[in-house]
A and B are shown apart, each in its own frame.
Chain A
Amino acid sequence: MKIDPETCTGCEACVPYCPVQAIQIKEGVAVIDDDECVECGVCFRSGACSVDSIQEVPLSWPRVIRAVLSNPLIESPDTRIPGRGTEEVKTNDVTGRIKPGFIGLALEMGRPGTGTSFRDVQKVTRALAGMGVEFEPQNPVTFWITDKKTGKIRDDILNEKSLSAIVECSFPLDKLKAVIKQVQAVAQQIDTVFSVTTCVKVAPDGSLPTDKIFKELGITPYPDSKNNVGLGRPLFQFEEVSS
């Protein structure tokens, strides 16, 4: 994103719209900090600028990943999914992505509202790789992990930033306590925040296999949850996996 200094009136109307506070008034005009800007396009689409000074500029690799992960209107070229580029468990009734006996874990780096550098993303992918998790293949961040065993991310994007980057993986439920402890440790080593999501297939009796484990860990999930209500067809047959 750019702001044309010739036409900007310095009215400040665009400033509060930036989710990462990358717009400042300098010498009477609004200026976007290129390093902090995550190319989400909120300032441009807001209509806050009465003189149309805010401009979208063409992005090349590697800066383009900022827009792919920050602007939800953009479809990920790797997964063909808009938003943050992953279906995750919204379609688990059809895909069987998370199976009984396994847990899905999504660490959404930079959410809420702080944004993340890819150096911090790499700290997290390295920590998870060390636990032997399986990174979700249909997730844009996974496409940029060059070594799944070490969690190394390609060098040319390490200086990039985005509003969000979802590190998504799965592993057997019996690893949950160890993985959570690893995630708690790496959380102390980064300069941003992440929102933590777990996902499980509901047991036949309606219970969640994670309830007891969270209690033992002293973790209380939020009172709200996200529930796939099983209306997708064809319904995934989990028996096919175990046979």
Chain B
Amino acid sequence: MTHSLHRLGTSENLSHDYPLICMAAHGMNEEGAAGKMGKFLEICRRHGPVNFGDMKQGSIFVHDADDIIRNITNTTLVQCVFDDIKKVEAVLRDLREADLGLSVVVSGLTDAARECCQKVGLEIHTVSQSLGIWGKTSRLPSREVLEITTMCGHGMTSSSLVEKMIEDIKKGKNSPQKAAEKLAKPCECGIFNPSRAAELLAAAAAK
């Protein structure tokens, strides 16, 4: 219920952020899953993702994309991120036709995801929702930092590094795009969206 959920943002900036996950159910349909997850990533790659990766290997910001696809194992999970819902629609259409038989999860703005599935003829089976962050919220960094760090659902992209990137952009030491790529590297699974991060970094640095 987790690593592609809880992405903090506005409806406007979340409209450029759609993670997809594919995995086998352990002990149920995992035999041959490695090849199918490879096909999933190949299909995603055809439609221009901004990031992708394998949970046990890492993302395209650290490893060669072909190597990642070649070395997938049955018990891992793979993920991909798009910054355009039209690309997600195209991916889902291809996935439906490919009939890989593995579970696929689409995260993002609820209304957009629903409409996208309807257009492709897919019925959403199960939905996870975020009720937000509870507890000692005084320990959290600023909202503008959280909108970036929560794109790495495993918490690998630190708030301190985001704050440093914003300062570096302000000082002219780095561009928003290069800073976003730097922030994408610690996110091992490849679910961090560097395209949206660059937009958010530029806005934060302009304040």
Contact = CB atoms under 8 A, between A and B. Distances in A.
A91 interface: yes
Interface stretch (B99-107, B171-179, B198-206): B99-107
Interface stretch (A2-10, A151-159, A199-207): A199-207
Contacts of B169: none
Interface size class on chain B is 35 or more
Q: Which of B127, B135, B185 has the most CB of A within 10 A?
A: B135
A226 B5 contact: yes
Given A199-B1, A226-B105, A232-B25, A111 B124 contact: no
A64 to B, nearest CB: 18
Interface residues of A, number: 78
B29 A113 contact: no
B28 A82 contact: no
A184 to B, nearest CB: 7
B46 interface: no
A194 interface: yes
Interface in A189-233: 190-202, 206, 208, 210, 214, 219, 221-233
In the complex, the 7 A-B pairs of residues with the closest C-beta atoms, listed nearest first = A232-B103, A230-B125, A197-B1, A233-B101, A91-B25, A196-B131, A16-B160
Given A95-B25, A226-B107, A113 B75 contact: no
Contact of B126 (A183, A201, A221): A201
Contacts of A58: none
A73 B130 contact: no
Contacts of B163: 16
B2 A88 contact: yes
B186 A46 contact: yes
Interface of A: 15-19, 21, 40, 42, 45-46, 72-73, 75, 79-84, 86-95, 98, 104, 106, 108, 110-114, 138, 163-164, 166, 168, 183-184, 187, 190-202, 206, 208, 210, 214, 219, 221-234
A181 to B, nearest CB: 12
27 contacts: A21-B160, A72-B3, A73-B56, A83-B154, A86-B2, A87-B25, A111-B153, A112-B6, A112-B140, A112-B149, A113-B149, A168-B1, A187-B134, A191-B136, A193-B139, A196-B133, A197-B1, A201-B125, A202-B127, A224-B17, A224-B130, A225-B5, A225-B107, A225-B110, A227-B117, A228-B103, A229-B125
